[in-house]
Amino acid sequence: MKKHLFYSLSLLLALTLTACSNNDNETLETSIQNQEETSQQNQEYAELGSGAHLVKFPEDLEEGIVFATYDRGDIHEDIYVNSKEAIEAAQNGEEFPSDTVITLVGYKDGELDQYLVMEKRTGWGSQYSPEERNGEWEYQAFTPDRKVREDNIGRCFTCHANQERDDYINSMDQMKEFDLGEISQSKNSSTEAPIAAMPTEDWKISKISAHMIDSEVINKEAINVVDGQEKSKVIQDVLMKMFLQQFES
């Protein structure tokens, strides 16, 4: 009888110790989980848009590709991307490469109104809350004279947030539909081709001595007729300067 009672007490004690051990483990796991959640809640994230200073005005803007345009009343917008590799990535269903820059050039009533720039670089955006960041994109706004504009850049994140599936690009459809063949065609039709094709065989080129340029009476002996390769080079240089002046104006 005593032996049976001792065995029962031992079994009860073992079950009690096991239960206590399980409770301790559960309590420890719950404590760790609560600490992690508290740590995440207490973590301080940077203000959305505080990294805008990283985005500089794209000095090579004019060398970019206009892949989309929009017209809304008196508003006209041209959307540039800085590389064909970005367009290829979009059309192949891949992520945009680091260093991709997309610029909106906005006009109002025919006058330049603003530049809105978004740039992607590896590691950007990590200081923001995971729920708010737009991947690795940062944004900046510029005035017509290309100075940083005082603006609430956080609004840019909100505007692009609903395009997460398109890597936060609002004009993804236009980029996917853009014909990259247009770029090759434009390169092949460079300014040198039409200039070289102009019929200049009958043109007469004369060189005047420097000291006679401002003279009202030009001595014919001071005029040298230019021909051959020198003539072709002079004509090409003059036409190129005329083209560039027209382009700049």
Residues 177 and 204 in one domain: no
Same domain, 144 and 217: no
Last residue of a domain, one of 181, 201, 227: 181
Domain assignment present for residue 31? The answer is: no
Question: Domain ends where: 160, 181, 202?
Answer: 181
Mean pLDDT of all residues in 110-127:
97
Same domain, 57 and 126: yes
Whole-angstrom Cα Rg for the chain: 35
How confident is the model over 38-95, as pLDDT tens digits?
445 556 899 999 999 999 999 999 999 999 999 999 999 999 999 999 999 999 999 9
* Inside any domain, residue 5: no
Measured CA to CA, the distance from residue 80 to residue 87 in angstroms comes to 11
Q: Give the count of domains, the chain.
A: 2
Q: How far is Cα 119 from Cα 115, in angstroms, rounded to an integer?
A: 13
Q: What is the mean pLDDT of the chain?
A: 78
Mean pLDDT within 25-33? 58
Tell me the percentage of the chain whose pLDDT exceeds 70.
Answer: 56
3-17, 149-163, 168-182: segment of lowest average pLDDT: 3-17
> Looking at residue 130, what is its pLDDT?
95
Same domain, 99 and 143: yes
Q: Please, is 116 exposed, middle or buried when counting C-beta atoms within 10 Å of its C-beta (0-12, 13-18, 19+)?
A: buried
Q: Is the pLDDT of residue 212 over 90?
A: no
Please give the helix or strand (H or E) that residue 195 lies within, else none: helix 192-197
Is the pLDDT at 110 greater than 90? The verdict is yes
Residue 105 clears pLDDT 90, i.e. is over it: yes
Q: What is the mean pLDDT of residues 217-226?
A: 54
What's the pLDDT score for residue 206? Answer: 65
- What was the pLDDT predicted at 182? 74
Contact present, 147 and 138 (Cβ < 8 Å): no
Give the residue-averaged pLDDT of 178-201.
61
DSSP 105: E
Residue length of the chain: 249
Residue 210 lies in a domain: yes
Would residue 40 count as lying in a domain?
A: no
Q: Could you tell me the residue range of the domain that residue 239 belongs to?
A: 190-248
Same domain, 161 and 71: yes
User: 128 in a domain, yes or no?
Assistant: yes
Instruction: Tell me: pLDDT of 191 over 50.
Output: no
Residues 233, 160 within the same domain: no
With respect to residue 98, please indicate whether it lies within any of the assigned structural domains.
yes
Regarding whether 61 and 99 lie in a shared domain, the answer is: yes
Q: Are 195 and 175 members of one domain?
A: no
In a shared domain, residues 142 and 60: yes
95 Cβ contact partners less than 8 Å away, ≥ 6 residues apart: 89, 167
Q: Is the pLDDT of residue 249 over 50?
A: no
Q: Is residue 13 part of a domain?
A: no
pLDDT at 36: 53
In a domain, 102, yes or no: yes
The reply to whether 177 and 108 lie within a common domain is: yes
Do residue 243 and residue 220 come from a single domain?
yes
Is 132 found in the same domain as 61? yes
Residue ending a domain, among 126, 147, 181, is 181
